[in-house]
Amino acid sequence: MPNMDEGGFQERFYSSSDRLRLYARDYRPLSAAAAERLPVICLPGLTRNARDFHPLALLLCRDKTAPRRVIALDSRGRGSSAWDENKANYNLAVETGDIIAACAAFGIGRAIFIGTSRGGLILHLIAATRPDLLEAVVLNDIGPAIEADGLALIRDYLNSGRKPADWKEAADIAQENHGDSFTALAAEDWREMALALYRDVDGRPVADFDPAIAEALRSIDFSQPLPDLWEQFESLSRFPLMLIRGENSPLLSRETASEMARLHPGLILHTAEGQGHAPLLHLGTIPAAIHAFLATCR
């Protein structure tokens, strides 16, 4: 089983504007020439964390031709970042401020960003408020409009209350929740997903996020239209943009992806075959597609 903590990175901590202790993994290439290339900053999904990006970060950091520094962040209340006593702070505006604080803490004036799901929503806000930070953007299975049915699925499995007794059951639960849409995954991939979803507490897997984040989904009124970010998406039109969509994604529709491509004629759309929401970025043809996109960036 792969080890998501096997090394290859430096653990970093920094403070948000409200002094919450936040965590990042800093993958630094050995090649001095890598300093001439802009770094890649990775933003995870709603209840996910930096471990989601570990295999991809190693690939990018250790690339033989054009290695790049990669920084993968844990949002507040997730992974090794502190939980917020004020649960209302688990919102896009506050978390956008946390990303801006991370860039300042690590001395990064401009970067290439990869945003998975909620991380991609944050990038919409950064494009509208701090476009100077962006060189290029990769959106992983997210756009300015999300499907209500897909969000309801996420709400339901996050609030199911089922707790795995061991790591085998953790992998089994992941497969039960996502197996219909992730047909491309093998047994090892499900075990790897479990390692990213849970943290080890005395040999037992425990969900690695503040339960208040999942609980907040219960308050959404799905009888009403969900808010969208089409206005903010217009701000992304000035940047090189790659969209990765899971072939079986319940959250990002083909229609939304097509509209994004219409509004951003330069958008590069890559379909993750046999994957749902959100695609594992180190599997299949995705790494090669990301490498090709990064080759166009400075």
pTM flag (> 0.85)? yes
50 exposure class (CB count in 10 Å sphere: 0-12, 13-18, 19+)? buried
Give yes or no for a contact between 39 and 103, defined as CB atoms under 8 angstroms apart.
no
What's the confidence (pLDDT) of residue 3? 62
What's the confidence (pLDDT) of residue 1? 41
| CA proximity to 90, closest of 46, 138, 54, 29 | 46
Element (H, E) at 254: helix 254-263
The pLDDT-based confidence of 5 (bands split at 50, 70, 90) is: low
Q: Is residue 140 part of a domain?
A: yes
Q: Is residue 207 part of a domain?
A: no
The pLDDT-based confidence of 279 (bands split at 50, 70, 90) is: very high
Q: Is residue 51 part of a domain?
A: yes
Element (H, E) at 74: strand 70-74
Instruction: Taking residues 238-252, report their average pLDDT.
Output: 98
pLDDT tens figures, 197-210:
999 999 999 999 99
Where residue 232 sits, what CATH number does that domain have?
A: 3.40.50.1820
pLDDT tens figures, 106-149:
999 999 999 999 999 999 999 999 999 999 999 999 999 999 99
Instruction: Taking residues 212-219, report their average pLDDT.
Output: 97
pLDDT tens figures, 141-153:
999 999 999 999 9
Q: Is residue 155 part of a domain?
A: no
Q: Is residue 137 part of a domain?
A: yes
Q: Is residue 213 part of a domain?
A: no
Using alpha carbons only, give the angle 116, 118, 119 rounded to the nearest 5 degrees: 55
Domain extent for 50: 10-147+228-294
What's the confidence (pLDDT) of residue 161? 86
Q: How many domains does the chain have?
A: 1
Place of tokens 């996020």: 209
Instruction: Taking residues 31-41, report their average pLDDT.
Output: 91
Query: What's the chain's average pLDDT?
Result: 96
Q: Is residue 245 part of a domain?
A: yes
pLDDT tens figures, 43-76:
999 999 999 999 999 999 999 999 999 999 999 9
CA–CA separation, 236 and 249 (whole Å): 22
What's the confidence (pLDDT) of residue 2? 47
Element (H, E) at 270: strand 268-272
CA–CA separation, 271 and 162 (whole Å): 31
Distances (CA, A) of 33 to 50, 68, 69, 73, 128: 25, 9, 11, 24, 32
